[in-house]
């Protein structure tokens, strides 16, 4: 039946009809947030409603359910490495509690960081780690988790701290030559990697300093000293866990693996294995317990094996250790499937091509070209949650347009970074948005206003687009020699 339906001639798809699924998503999500509390359930229901509308549009265009299934499978296959990393980080968090790694980092955060400047410190240390490793998820899922625990103990603002962690994580992810997304954006635009990174300074540096100022003003914990609950948490950490330099071994393994460019999922899994060994050998946990922590997360009841009664420990300490595990990422995977059902239906119906084509058709100037690129990138990443695929598709669509307007390819690659890499974490339904919310324990809509660096990307990118009407500052023209070189580079890459 599907094969017959897919041979039906397609009707002309208007822009209004193509936008219907996205408008449905926005309407359902907004209504759910206003009428009920914002939750994963509301998000999933909104996406499924939008996917249903997209499916009806696809059927109207002659595409059957088989085509939607096939496209969904292809999209899931494309993000399989990301899904594996997602699961590996869930396992990592649970086992790092077993090894004492996360408790050690929280202890350091409480003792070494000036509570008055906790938020800006969280931003800087996460940025440094992400710049060195090139991974936003790895930085937020390890150091970020510890910082959130310390913030709770010090009574620092959690939403601001989460926004600072996300901002720092994406600064490094955007500017590090080790970052996959940075390399792919350069490739998608046909730009040299290091030229691309240098050109991103025009938007990254202003965003960085604005974020630095905002987080400095945000401050940190109230009062001059550490609150009583922070002192109690330190005492409980030292009483329950054996913390020392050996607890840093799982972190060292991650850093070495990233530096050697090993597959991230395997590196994180190896770090989890080391953490499990430390949990058994040094902390005194049983093999069954560390395995359970890897799968379902560390649970307070496991402390009984160490001779501690959970009811005698503070609620803050129990929240710190009750986390992680493969199962903690289950909701995220369901959202991913719902998102790809929506993206697949829009893809097979031609709605996505219609929207992107409409954006490209209105380009009349450098300003319009950059605006269209940013809009296309944000639209694609909101549907695919795959920065690599988005950068390659949008980059391929706009390369000729930038060349025809005598603009260097790094203008395009920077626009991709500012509309794809840093924006994804601001959208509650994307994989990155859900990952950050789940890992840091703060809903996306609460930390997003504080993710100042991420907001600054598209803002400054569009500011240079406006400025292009009056000059070329921040917009690099394409020279004749560069045209020849870029064509040669593309042939070499091909």
Q: What confidence score (pLDDT) does residue 385 get?
A: 67
Is residue 231, in this structure, part of any structural domain at all? yes
Is residue 8, in this structure, part of any structural domain at all? no
User: How far apart are the C-alpha atoms of 286 and 42, rounded to whole Å?
Assistant: 39
Is residue 442, in this structure, part of any structural domain at all? yes
The number of distinct structural domains making up the chain is 2
Domain with 125 in it: 81-329
Q: Is residue 336 domain-shared with residue 321, that is, in the same domain?
A: no
Q: Is residue 325 domain-shared with residue 335, that is, in the same domain?
A: no
Is the CB of residue 424 less than 8 Å from the CB of residue 432? yes
Q: What confidence score (pLDDT) does residue 6 get?
A: 45
pLDDT tens-place string over residues 342-356: 878 888 888 878 877
Is residue 1, in this structure, part of any structural domain at all? no
Domain finish residue from 329, 360, 393: 329
- Half-sphere exposure at residue 88, Cβ-oriented, CA atoms within 13 angstroms: 20
Structure tokens at 121: 């410190």
Q: Is residue 28 domain-shared with residue 65, that is, in the same domain?
A: yes
Q: Is residue 255 domain-shared with residue 325, that is, in the same domain?
A: yes
Is residue 149, in this structure, part of any structural domain at all? yes
Q: What confidence score (pLDDT) does residue 139 get?
A: 80
Q: Is residue 340 domain-shared with residue 198, that is, in the same domain?
A: no
Q: Is residue 279 domain-shared with residue 395, that is, in the same domain?
A: no
Is residue 6, in this structure, part of any structural domain at all? no
* Residue 425: closest CA among 179, 131, 166: 166
Q: Is residue 324 domain-shared with residue 348, that is, in the same domain?
A: no
Domain finish residue from 292, 307, 329: 329
Q: Is residue 151 domain-shared with residue 199, that is, in the same domain?
A: yes
Q: Is residue 71 domain-shared with residue 124, that is, in the same domain?
A: no
Regions in the chain scoring below 70 on pLDDT: 1-11, 37-39, 79, 82, 132-133, 178, 223-226, 384-386, 388-389, 392-393, 396, 471, 480-494
Q: Is residue 169 domain-shared with residue 297, that is, in the same domain?
A: yes
Domain finish residue from 306, 329, 352: 329
Q: Is residue 179 domain-shared with residue 301, that is, in the same domain?
A: yes
Q: What confidence score (pLDDT) does residue 92 get?
A: 86
Structure tokens at 247: 């607890």
Q: Is residue 102 domain-shared with residue 250, that is, in the same domain?
A: yes
Is residue 322, in this structure, part of any structural domain at all? yes
Cα of first residue to Cα of last residue in the chain, in angstroms, is 40
Is the CB of residue 466 less than 8 Å from the CB of residue 180? no
Q: What confidence score (pLDDT) does residue 490 get?
A: 46
Is residue 7, in this structure, part of any structural domain at all? no
């Amino acid at each position: 039946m599907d094969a017959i339906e897919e041979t039906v001639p397609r009707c002309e798809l208007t822009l209004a009809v193509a936008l219907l699924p996205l408008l449905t998503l926005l309407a359902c999500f907004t209504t759910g947030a206003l009428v009920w509390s914002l939750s994963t359930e509301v998000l999933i229901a909104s996406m499924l409603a939008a996917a249903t509308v997209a499916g009806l549009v696809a059927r109207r265009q002659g595409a059957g359910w088989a085509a939607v299934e096939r496209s969904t499978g292809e999209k899931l296959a494309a993000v399989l490495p990301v899904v594996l990393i997602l699961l590996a980080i869930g396992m990592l968090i649970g086992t790092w509690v077993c090894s004492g790694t996360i408790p050690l980092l929280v202890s350091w955060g409480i003792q070494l960081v000036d509570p008055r400047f906790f938020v800006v410190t969280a931003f800087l240390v996460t940025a440094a780690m992400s710049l060195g490793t090139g991974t936003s998820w790895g930085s937020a899922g390890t150091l970020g988790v510890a910082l959130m625990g310390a913030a709770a103990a010090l009574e620092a603002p959690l939403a601001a701290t989460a926004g600072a962690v996300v901002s720092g994580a994406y600064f490094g992810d955007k500017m590090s030559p080790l970052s996959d997304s940075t390399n792919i954006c350069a490739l998608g635009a046909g730009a040299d990697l290091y030229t691309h990174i240098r050109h991103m300074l025009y938007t990254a540096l202003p965003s960085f300093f604005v974020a630095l100022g905002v987080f400095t003003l945000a401050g940190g914990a109230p009062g001059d000293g550490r609150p009583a609950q922070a002192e109690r948490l330190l005492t409980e950490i030292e009483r329950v866990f054996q913390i020392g330099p050996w607890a840093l071994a799982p972190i060292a393994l991650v850093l070495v693996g990233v530096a050697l460019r090993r597959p991230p999922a395997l590196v994180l899994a190896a770090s989890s294995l080391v953490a499990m060994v430390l949990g058994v050998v040094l902390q005194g946990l049983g093999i069954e317990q560390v395995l359970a922590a890897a799968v379902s997360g560390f649970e307070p009841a496991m402390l009984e094996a160490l001779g501690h009664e959970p009811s005698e420990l503070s609620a803050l300490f129990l929240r710190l250790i009750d986390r992680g595990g493969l199962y903690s990422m289950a909701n995220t995977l369901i959202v991913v499937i719902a998102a790809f059902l929506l993206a697949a239906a829009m893809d097979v119906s031609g709605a996505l091509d219609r929207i992107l084509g409409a954006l490209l058709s209105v380009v009349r100037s450098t300003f319009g070209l950059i605006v269209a690129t940013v809009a296309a990138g944000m639209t694609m990443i909101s549907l695919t949650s795959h920065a690599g695929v988005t950068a390659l598709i949008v980059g391929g669509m706009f390369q000729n347009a930038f060349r025809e307007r005598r603009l260097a390819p790094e203008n395009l690659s920077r626009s991709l970074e500012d509309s794809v890499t840093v924006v994804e974490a601001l959208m509650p339904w994307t994989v990155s948005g859900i990952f950050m919310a789940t890992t840091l324990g703060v809903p996306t809509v609460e930390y997003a206003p504080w993710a100042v660096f991420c907001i600054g990307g598209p803002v400054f990118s569009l500011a240079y687009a406006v400025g292009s009407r009056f000059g070329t500052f921040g917009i690099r023209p394409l020279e004749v020699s560069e045209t020849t070189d870029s064509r040669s580079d593309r042939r070499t890459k091909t």
